[in-house]
Amino acid sequence: MPKQISDSNLGQTTQYPNQYDPSLLFPIARVVTREDSRAANTPNWIGADLWTAYEISWLDSRGKPVVAIASFDFAVSNPYLIESKSFKLYLNSFNQSKFDAPEQVIERMTKDLSQAAGGKVTIQLLSPQAWQDAQIIEPLGDCVDDLAISIDCYDANPALLQLLDSETDAEGEQAEQARILYSNLLKSNCPVTNQPDWGTVIIAYQGQTIDPAAFLRYIVSYRQHNGFHELCVEEIYCDLMKYCAPEALFVMARYTRRGGLDINPWRASSQAIIKGMEQLLTPFNRLARQ
């Protein structure tokens, strides 16, 4: 099983397949992506990488094309993640392949992706008759993007994070209900191709109040940072834990679509902090830019 990112098809000219081929999948060990990162020592978290694929097609038994939207849920406990271009090529390999029913497609994809990821993968297909169920949603909580602050740091800098001082924090040190902040200004870059990745980051936490202005400066500092979607979320989680020490934490980034795929990783300290975040985790829901 390949593990070196440099061996992938990212940034390379490739031929698009016309027949089903699971060998196109390129797994990358999570531990490799975390090397020399601020997420190298992963905490005891829960989470998943949620992918939505908008360019799913195959042929039915009579040769007529079928189209669908697909949702993929990769557990964070899986030792491997799937490199995005290889995932796209793999999905395209279904385009001229015949299947008798959508259930056969799900079964085949589940087998292939679970084997490649080394663990649990949950797949759902949404047929055109149910596309109206796919909702555009808005994040809950407070958007920090309109804060009138100056920013001059565009390289990921966790030291920008800070708490409100005790005099400013009128809500006190402990809040029974989770606070939620989000920003639409997340931008990072693919570490292989240097293409920009645009996203919205949402955090929910319990504990002392995180300074919203500091949080915004920190998120903007990713603007010239190179990192895979999953690792960016993991580093944001680890940075918040180190510099703000919340009692409970949820971090999710919903990235804009590229090549018919959007990637939405999330990490959380426990199931309890996820309460109220369900709409962000519901398959086929998306933000406006996705």
Q: Binding-site residues for NADPH, please?
A: 84-85, 258-259
Alpha-carbon span 280 to 290, nearest angstrom: 13
Binding-site residues for substrate, in ranges, read 82-84, 229-230
For residue 21, give the nearest of 103, 92, 115 by alpha carbon.
Answer: 92
Strand partners, 69: 126
Total length of the chain = 290
User: Given 49, 143, 190, 262, which residue is catalytic?
Assistant: 190
Residue 190 annotated as catalytic: yes
For residue 212, give the nearest of 174, 165, 166, 161 by alpha carbon.
Answer: 161
Question: Cα 43 from chain centroid?
Answer: 18
Binding-site residues, in ranges, read 82-85, 229-230, 258-259
Q: Are strands 179-189 and 65-75 parallel, antiparallel or unpaired?
A: unpaired
Residue pair 83/46 in contact (Cβ under 8 Å)? The answer is no
* Tokens (6 digits) for 139: 């994040």
Alpha-carbon span 226 to 11, nearest angstrom: 15
DSSP secondary structure of 66-102:
EEEEEEEEEETTSSEEE-HHHHHHHHHTTTT-B-SSH
User: Given 49, 112, 197, 211, which residue is catalytic?
Assistant: 197
Task: For Cα atoms 53, 289, 231, give the angle at the middle one, nearest 5 degrees.
Answer: 65
Alpha-carbon span 285 to 290, nearest angstrom: 9
Residue 153 annotated as catalytic: no
Catalytic residues: 190, 197
